[in-house]
Amino acid sequence: MKLEFPILQIVDENGNLVNENYRKAITEELVKKFYYHMIRIRTFDRKAISLQRQGRLGTYAPFEGQEASQVGSALALEKDDWLFPTYRDHGAALTFGAGMSRIFLYWNGRLEGCVPEKGKKIFPPAVPIATQIPHAAGAALAEKRKGTKNAAIAYFGDGATSEGDFHEGLNFASVFKAPVVYFNQNNRFAISVPIEKQMNSETIAQKALAYNMPGFRIDGNDIFAVYFQVLEALKFARHGGGSTLIEAVTWRYGAHTTSDDPTKYRDQSESEVIRETRDPLLRVERYMKSNGIWKEEWVQKITNEIAAEVEQAVKEMENYPKPNVNDLFDHVFEKPTWTISQQKEQYLQLIGREAR
């Protein structure tokens, strides 16, 4: 069955505006904001991989190549909205206001890394696949019942659409018209499983039809398309329309995580081709140059500022007080079960013997 879900593109790979409907809305200030945040999260991502390779950070999930999807969607949010990330959406979280040192702490296994900055509604990263999708529906419905105009965005990969939580979350959101944007980053692989081996649908966007909600397919490497489509979906949500499913077609250059070897299941030469032709930062750079926005001095200035910010965040992470071993046991349940209490007692006895 052929279903038409054309990919929305506003600026093409060469930096040319191909959709005149958005010309007036694309200001110099907005374009520079796009570029700043994309440079910032790419710098963070590369530093995190370097730290992991040096043994200074735990296993890490990189996102390079998906900057347009994460920055464009996060910048469309209002300050009181909710953000429900996966373990790969720290770029979106950073853009939305998460502390950089806290995200480094998260990847070092610290529970403090799950605590958002004061006033920020950022859910802890969801490692189990798709569990954040029903959570987003619940939080959004709560905002609706409170009478606010706040909305939620839930991030997930293509693999999440094969999980029951995806269908349950979308069904619930559809029935109750919860103000949620379900934002899929489709990089065509669920770890090692290509998309054609995990679903028979031609697109992810068409799954919206089953829940009678709008579904859109966009160029996930075009930050202009991402930003304006998410902005429109959020407006729809805030005014009682309910939820929207957006499929951002993108590509991640590197491994699923730093413990993965993508050469075992995909041709990595495709990454190099995409980097040279469809890289999301390169696209904005080309747009800026062709529209007289590019200034070498400004780019150098923000690059230096971001590098300094990242290094400061690393220092804060590495100088953070040592973890409290009780945290392993005290926050599993509201009231510890006997099994947790027993494990805690046994562990404290063990480290007590080792200290002697």
Q: What does the pLDDT read at residue 324?
A: 86
210: DSSP letter: G
Q: What dihedral angle (degrees, nearest 10) is formed by the CA atoms of 167, 172, 175, 176?
A: -150
Identify whether 239 is a catalytic site residue. Answer: no
Q: What does the pLDDT read at residue 327?
A: 84
Q: What does the pLDDT read at residue 351?
A: 80
Q: What does the pLDDT read at residue 2?
A: 55
- Write out the chain's pLDDT in tens, 356 residues: 557 899 999 999 999 999 999 999 999 999 999 999 999 999 999 999 999 999 999 999 999 999 999 999 999 999 999 999 999 999 999 999 999 999 999 999 998 999 999 999 999 999 999 999 999 999 999 999 999 999 999 999 999 999 999 999 999 999 999 999 999 999 999 999 999 999 999 999 999 999 999 999 999 999 999 999 999 999 999 999 999 999 999 999 999 999 999 999 998 888 999 999 999 999 999 999 999 999 999 999 999 999 999 999 999 999 999 988 888 898 889 998 999 999 999 998 888 766 55
Q: What does the pLDDT read at residue 85?
A: 98
Q: What does the pLDDT read at residue 331?
A: 82
Paired tokens of 322: 């040592």
Evaluate if pTM is beyond 0.85: yes
User: Of the listed 40, 90, 217, 252, which one is catalytic?
Assistant: 252
Closest CA to 50 of 229, 331, 310: 310
Report DSSP letters for 79-97, one per residue: TTSEEE-BTT-HHHHHHHT
Q: What does the pLDDT read at residue 68?
A: 98
| In contact, 157 and 190? CB cutoff 8 Å | yes
Report DSSP letters for 143-198, one per residue: HHHHT----EEEEEEGGGGGSHHHHHHHHHHHHTT--EEEEEEE-SEETTEEGGGT
Q: What does the pLDDT read at residue 53?
A: 97
Q: In the CATH hierarchy, which fold is given to the domain comprising 7-323?
A: Rossmann fold (3.40.50)
Identify whether 167 is a catalytic site residue. Answer: no
Count of CB atoms situated within 10 Å of the CB of 331:
11
Q: What are phi and psi for residue 217, nearest 5 degrees?
A: -120, 130
| In contact, 62 and 258? CB cutoff 8 Å | yes
User: Of the listed 53, 145, 239, 265, which one is catalytic?
Assistant: 265
Q: What does the pLDDT read at residue 353?
A: 67
User: Of the listed 256, 278, 283, 286, which one is catalytic?
Assistant: 256
Task: Delimit the domains of the chain by residue range.
Answer: 7-323, 324-356
Identify whether 155 is a catalytic site residue. Answer: no
Q: What does the pLDDT read at residue 185?
A: 98
